[in-house]
Structure 1
């Protein structure tokens, strides 16, 4: 059955890999796309980019707006188009462009673009190296643009992000605006971040296409360019110096093959965003371009007269830091609430308090009032207790874990604290990741597992302390038995002279024995709680001695000597395996640690791993292989003695 399940999982993964790696059929890059949408008093205007080889029947073009039919009219774009079209060339002029003749190829490609782009398209030029310059404001004067291209010079630095921001600003805010970026390197600036640039591109609805020169072996630079193109609903065109002119010519070809579709707005339509669909009939079938677009320059709606004077200075823009400060304050509040749940350490009673306790006067008028915060905490504890009452299995598991760890928390209190840690961890992740949801979810998972790991660590530490002190405890019991004490008296001696956790556990044994539990059964409970095989052997020896008789003191002395030898051997093995264990911890923690660090510092670099199908498959494979490695390393470094 297991083999069949594994075979089915492997087949599913293989099929998913084939689907992800198989190129899709159909129009692919030859599909039409909506480049620009705007609404004016005259109606709706839509610019549609169509494939160069598509012969569109302009008389049969139809369209819909949020499903409503439009009375559409289609014309070819030209010098008399009523929609402004602006393209900004953002050209990298860093020193690295001098290699392999890239700079000369870039100038030639820009010339090709200027010769091919339609006459009505205004072209501007922005250059970036160690400085950003708007070399040419948008204009239809091709001679002026050519002079700027011929006069370009190289310098140090690559302020890629600042150059794109300047290009977006130079494109203006009217009509179709596009930016064509040419770069061969990553951004070297420190002031502007990738997130700021992509946000600006998205807010201004500017189309961005990137021509990437020789970026092989630069995954960080490639990821940044992909993020810029994705924000601008464009694409990254990887090119070399010889094919650069073809890439620029193709971009100009897109502007030359656009169709302007106009239609009056449906009656009563006043939305600023809508789904636009344009159907283009051709000899080979209908082509459909659709997009959920921001309706720009929408018709003004008469506003109701204001009853108060307008003062623009009255408003207050909330700074970005206030959002993170709010998260931090909320997280601190949760941590404070969790700290309040920790029970106070019991203070020894004074002589007067003991006397009043025996006389029964406590609680009749001298009870201290509760703090103001305690009723709220009591309600929270009561709610957690109600959850555990409906889930007895969970309550039993929590009780066992808390007992094994020696914790003073009740199951309801621990459940409440656990929830607080999870929420606080998620908030801290959002704060650390600057609002990144993925980082917040990662820290949410850490917060979920951290309390469990803490209990497991404390239980292991307590178990180790129990086993370490066990030989000396048995020796003390043997001495007490040799002195003529009974087994119960010997246990009482341990509770008074022994050390924790054995002293507290043996005290529990005496309490259980006094309420009717057999001494051997009480000892069996200690062995079960600590999962101690050594003490289980001691309990077995005591049972046998109780049944068949013999010298229990001598038996305990022999068992104590055997345990000392085993502990010595165990320490030897731990010393020899310490290097392997340390290596296993480093190899196990390094991949997820680096993943979290890069997610915090460069979230765009890791975005393809969880936003694309192939990236998710790679991430799942990495987790599977890491889990397999952790399993084998744990087996190799764990030696039973």
Structure 2
């Protein structure tokens, strides 16, 4: 019996059909969405089942918004759809960010281990295949290294395998690594020194990000405190004088002011929480 890798290699060599990488996330969802959202789904590693669940929740938000519009006659009821879609998008973005963070935790160690292996005379591609043994099997970098090995075993060219490494990780230093590795293969340049410099740049980036998080920690707590106070005041007002709250909601201007204030507080909290998640 032939293994899956051997069969895939035979298909590539014979040109019988286009190979479909079973580990590629992009192949799973390329027919569903495109553009920026498509890229976000790839970076968040969203499977077909999860994508169907997201679409189901979005349809639920739309149905709930239409039902509330007919029942309550409030113009702001359709905003539930926008809020629900925004919430789903933020969940996906948060998942992509966590994947990038998980990859970065082991990235510098990977670069330094690869540099050490290259200095001993080991081929960089062989060293990358062996590096998977150094990391936890459930880590993000281990998954990327396994996918890299799968590309090589299936008969893909070195350039294709290198370009696919870390393609689903939203990290600014990965393209530099791929470029350095390809140049070293084509031009014969020194790779070990370049890898050490890349590791130093990544460490500096991590240090700067920690400083930024520490600088805005108090502002984040303040925004949460302000939002909590606003919610507490609204609850107290509703418990002490529910008739006034009902009249405010029934008044055209009152409901607009309350909805506007709620949106401003919510946007402020979200902005403060996402302030340190910019690409640094």
TM over 0.5: yes
Aligned pair partner of 1:477 in 83, 90, 114: 114
The equivalent residue for 1:171 is none
1:562 aligns with 2:201: yes
Task: State the Cα deviation string for residues 311-336 of structure 1 (Å, max 9, x = none).
Answer: xxxxxxxxxxxxxxxxxxxxxxxxxx
1:507 aligns with 2:134: no
Matching of residue 580 in structure 1 with residue 219 in structure 2: yes
Checking the alignment, whether the CA contact within 8 Å between 1:467 and 1:534 is kept in structure 2 is no
Q: Which has the higher helix share?
A: 2
1:7-18 aligned within 5 A = none
- Which residue of the other structure, out of 564, 571, 578, is the alignment partner of 2:210? 571
- Structure with greater strand share of residues: 1
Superposed displacement of residue 472, structure 1 = 0.6
What is the DSSP-based 3-state SS (H/G/I as helix, E as strand, rest coil) of the residue aligned with 2:253? helix
Query: Partner of 1:413 in structure 2?
Result: 52
TM superposition shift of 1:393: 5.6
Residue 493 of structure 1: aligned partner: 130
Asked whether the equivalents of residues 111 and 195 of structure 2 are also in contact (C-alpha less than 8 Å), the reply is yes
Q: Say which of 183, 190, 212 aligns to 1:544.
A: 183
Aligned pairs for 1:267-306 (under 5 A) are none
How much does 1:466 deviate?
Answer: 0.9
Calculate the TM-score normalised by the size of structure 1.
0.32
Conservation of the 8 A alpha-carbon contact between 1:495 and 1:503 = yes
Give, in whole Å, the separation in 2 of the partners of 1:396 and 1:470.
28
* Corresponding residue of 1:282: none
CA RMSD of aligned residues (A): 4.6
Picking from 192, 217, 220, the partner of 1:553 is: 192
Provide the residue aligned with 1:611 in structure 2: 250
Between the aligned partners of 1:629 and 1:399, the Cα distance in structure 2 is 27
634 and 453 in structure 1: CA distance in 2 versus 1, 3 angstrom threshold: closer
Partner SS, residue 551 of structure 1: coil
1:452 aligns with 2:92: no
* Cα separation, partners in 2 of 1:575 and 1:436, compared to 1, 3 Å: same
Inter-partner Cα distance in structure 2 for 1:406 and 1:486:
30
Cα distance between partner residues in 2 of 1:462 and 1:413: 21
Aligned partners of 1:449, 1:590: CA distance in 2, in Å? Answer: 24
Measured after TM superposition, the shift of residue 528 of structure 1 is 4.3
Paired residues for 1:162-311 under 5 Å: none
CA distance in 2, matches of 1:442, 1:597: 22
C-alpha distance in structure 2 between counterparts of 1:478 and 1:396, whole Å: 36
Structure 1 residue 474 displacement after superposition:
0.9
Residues 336-370 of structure 1: per-residue CA shift (max 9 Å, x gap): xxxxxxxxxxxxxxxxxxxxxxxxxxxxxxxxxxx
Aligned match for 1:466, one of 98, 103, 106? 103
Partner Cα separation in structure 1 for residue 226 and residue 41 of structure 2: 31
Please give the alpha-carbon distance, in whole angstroms, between the structure 1 residues aligned to 2:116 and 2:89. Answer: 40
State the secondary structure of the residue aligned to 1:533.
coil
> 1 CA distance for matches of 2:227 and 2:268?
8
Gaps of 5+ in 2: 1-28
Q: Deviations over 1:70-112 (max 9, x none)?
A: xxxxxxxxxxxxxxxxxxxxxxxxxxxxxxxxxxxxxxxxxxx
Deviation at 1:572, TM superposition (A): 2.6
Shift of 1:627: 7.7
- Residues 62, 78 of structure 2: 8 Å contact kept: no
DSSP 3-state at the match of 1:410: helix
- Count of residues in correspondence between the two structures: 246
Match of 1:224 in 2: none
CA contact (8 A) 2:119 2:192 kept: yes
Query: Structure 1: where are the runs of 5+ without partners?
Result: 1-388
Aligned residue number for residue 533 of structure 1:
172
1:587-616: CA deviation from partner (whole Å, max 9, x where unpaired): 45764x458857986764434444323224
* CA deviations over 1:135-171 (Å, ceiling 9, x no partner): xxxxxxxxxxxxxxxxxxxxxxxxxxxxxxxxxxxxx
SS of 1:530's partner is coil
Greater RCO (Cα-Cα under 8 Å, separation 6 or more): 2
The CA distance in 2 between the partners of 1:408 and 1:634, in whole Å, is 27
| CA contact 1:402–1:409 (8 Å) conserved in 2 | no
Conserved 8 A contact 1:584-1:630: yes
Query: Larger C-alpha radius of gyration, 1 or 2?
Result: 1
User: Cα–Cα, structure 1 residues 637 and 472, in superposed 2: closer, same or farther, change >3 Å?
Assistant: closer
**In the alignment, is the contact (CA less than 8 A) between 2:99 and 2:140 conserved in 1?**
yes
Deviation string, structure 1 residues 444-482 (Cα, Å, up to 9, x no partner): 766554433322222211111111211011112223323
